[in-house]
């Protein structure tokens, strides 16, 4: 197994900018606004504050959490499974729900009392963003929006993440390499003309080196 934490693929300046410069600032600003707003607008701003707070939890988990080698869980079929941490996944879903609730309140106000909206431009952008996310909400409710998961078995490799659902036999896998940007993670090198999926390292709590090592080991074992 990989020793230590492996190479840092998420720069510290980027993590600090997202967590401190954007997420914390947004949370403080929204909470301060909510404290002085009344009626439905005030209630909706607390919903937006909840959204910001949950995004902060997910951002800390994804960007700041130390990545150390960890043993994968073992599936019922003997597969070795790496899953995105709960603190990355569930706060994101909670933030999404809070945003949808907030957008619903603002949409109702836009129709019934447009003047009550303190920042109509921002409110309309939020409503539009919430509407654009509804197809993904349908995918989530129907099991087609996936928690980031990488698993290896004697026969195949499976990667699921967001809209990606890939299962390939080892004969179709050339190997795996670390990709430092766009996004940073592990690129699975597939045979043929299909595009190579990239497993984003921000979705996992183990070093990219461990995922590469796991794929390489399982591929070699399948060829024996």
Give ∠ CA 176-177-179 in degrees, rounded to 5: 135
Whole-structure pTM value: 0.86
- Give the helix ranges, DSSP H, for the chain: 12-16, 25-35, 39-59, 86-112, 120-132, 134-141, 208-223
Give the containing element (helix H, strand E) for 188.
Answer: strand 185-190
User: Is 153 in a helix, a strand, or coil?
Assistant: coil
Q: Which residues lie below 8 Å from residue 194, measured CB to CB, with a gap of 6+?
A: none
Tens digit of each residue's pLDDT, the chain (224 residues): 665 667 789 888 888 888 887 788 888 878 877 777 777 777 888 888 899 899 999 999 999 999 999 999 999 999 999 999 999 999 999 999 999 999 999 999 899 988 888 788 888 999 999 999 999 999 999 989 999 999 999 999 999 999 999 999 999 999 999 999 889 999 999 998 889 999 999 999 999 999 999 999 999 999 87
Helix/strand number for the chain, H first, E second: 7, 8
Q: What is the pLDDT of residues 170-195, one digit of tens each?
A: 999 999 999 998 899 999 999 988 89
């Amino acid at each position: 197994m990989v020793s230590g934490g492996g190479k840092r693929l998420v720069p510290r300046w980027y993590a600090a900018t997202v967590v401190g410069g954007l997420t914390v600032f947004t949370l403080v600003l929204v909470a301060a606004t909510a404290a002085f707003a009344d009626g439905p607008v005030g209630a909706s701003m607390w919903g937006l504050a909840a959204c910001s707070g949950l995004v902060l939890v997910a951002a800390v988990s994804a960007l700041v959490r130390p990545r150390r080698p960890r043993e994968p869980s073992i599936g019922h079929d003997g597969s070795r499974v790496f899953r995105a941490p709960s603190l990355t996944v569930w706060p994101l879903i909670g933030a999404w729900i809070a945003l949808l609730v907030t957008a619903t309140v603002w949409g109702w106000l836009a129709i019934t009392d447009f003047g009550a909206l303190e920042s109509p431009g921002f409110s309309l952008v939020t409503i539009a963003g919430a509407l654009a996310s509804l197809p993904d909400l349908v995918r989530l409710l129907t099991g087609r929006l996936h928690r980031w998961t990488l698993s290896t078995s004697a026969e195949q490799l499976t990667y699921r993440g967001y809209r990606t659902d890939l299962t390939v036999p080892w004969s179709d896998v050339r190997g795996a390499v670390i990709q430092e940007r766009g996004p940073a993670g592990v690129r699975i090198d597939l045979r043929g003309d299909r595009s190579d999926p990239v497993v984003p390292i921000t979705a996992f709590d183990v070093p990219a080196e461990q995922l590469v090592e796991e794929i390489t080991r399982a591929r070699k074992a399948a060829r024996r």
